[in-house]
């Protein structure tokens, strides 16, 4: 993430009486100022320019590869592509309800005051309107977060609340990181192509044909793996791109393991807890 991209997005890990305040650092060099929120807002570089160098990278050989698909794989890919093409629409009732459901699963017992609210910063959105953060991942990135919250609630809550490990003072924002993970997986697996042009994409489509939820499960695996690598690397928010690159390399290695027949066979799947 370069300095010209604007303010960084970060979360300061707070506790006790300190939870009421956080510092906002801007690239302009201005003095830090107190905010009444735990999540610090900044530019959209995490989803746009800041991630393009991490997630959209493609080896020269990838463009020359092509893999034939079975009719079942073609059907599974088409269903997934249909999901990927849906943009988040803040006027769509279904999308609104999905966003409310995410809040309820993330903070059960805490009433949401509105779809536009300062409360959303507690989840790690860049501002009070989460819809502005979905540009990089579309509606499927919200579906991924909701799937994670409902199917692996223990892991979801651990990551949301930064409960495990010796963590940095400045942490990655949970929700925005989730959108970035969706974007990274779509690029890594080349899921918007007619058919895969990398071995990783071809292997994934075999897993998808075995389980229609393979993309959502892989998302959960990736989020947990990313957080594990974050801890192992003693990373701070300045290291986010480096952590994402490392996470991608690990996923690629696991997808090429010969005896992986199901998405649940991936070694990093064991990191998830229900």
Over residues 111-139, the mean pLDDT reads 94
pLDDT at 164 over 70: yes
**Coil, helix or strand at residue 34:** strand
Tens of pLDDT, residues 222-263 = 999 999 999 999 999 899 999 999 999 999 999 999 999 999
Tens of pLDDT, residues 60-71 = 444 446 688 999
Tens of pLDDT, residues 170-210 = 899 999 999 999 999 999 999 999 989 899 999 999 999 99
CB 269 within 8 A of CB 216: no
Cα 148 from Cα 102, distance rounded (Å): 10
pLDDT at 51 over 90: no
Cα 152 from Cα 214, distance rounded (Å): 14
What was the pLDDT predicted at 67? 83
Distance between start and end Cα atoms, the chain: 34
What was the pLDDT predicted at 65? 66
What was the pLDDT predicted at 236? 92
What are the structure tokens assigned to 5, written together? 């991209």
Neighbours of 127 (CB within 10 A): 18
């Amino acid at each position: 993430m370069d300095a010209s991209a604007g303010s960084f997005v970060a979360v300061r890990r707070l506790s006790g009486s300190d939870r009421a305040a956080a510092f906002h650092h801007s690239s302009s060099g201005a003095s830090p100022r107190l905010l009444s929120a735990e999540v610090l807002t900044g530019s959209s570089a995490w989803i746009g320019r800041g991630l393009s160098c991490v997630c959209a990278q493609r080896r020269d050989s990838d463009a020359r590869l092509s893999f034939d698909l079975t009719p079942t794989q073609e059907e599974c890919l088409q269903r997934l592509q249909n999901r990927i093409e849906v943009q988040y629409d803040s006027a769509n009732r279904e999308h609104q309800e999905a966003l409310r459901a995410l809040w309820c699963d993330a903070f059960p017992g805490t009433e949401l005051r509105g779809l536009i609210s300062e409360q959303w910063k507690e989840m790690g959105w860049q501002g009070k309107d989460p819809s502005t953060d979905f540009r990089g991942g579309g509606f499927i990135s919200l579906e991924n977060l909701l799937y994670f919250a409902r199917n692996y609630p223990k892991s979801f809550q651990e990551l949301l609340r930064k409960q495990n490990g010796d963590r940095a003072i400045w942490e990655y924002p949970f929700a925005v990181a989730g959108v970035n993970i969706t974007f990274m997986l779509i690029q890594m697996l080349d899921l918007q192509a007619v058919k895969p042009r990398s071995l990783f994409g071809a292997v994934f489509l075999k897993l998808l044909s075995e389980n229609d939820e393979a993309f959502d499960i892989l998302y959960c695996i990736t989020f947990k793996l990313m957080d594990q690598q974050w801890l192992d690397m003693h990373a701070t928010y300045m290291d986010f791109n480096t952590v994402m690159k490392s996470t991608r390399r690990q996923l690629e290695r696991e997808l090429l393991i010969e005896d992986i027949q199901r998405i649940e066979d991936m070694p990093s799947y064991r990191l998830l807890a229900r």
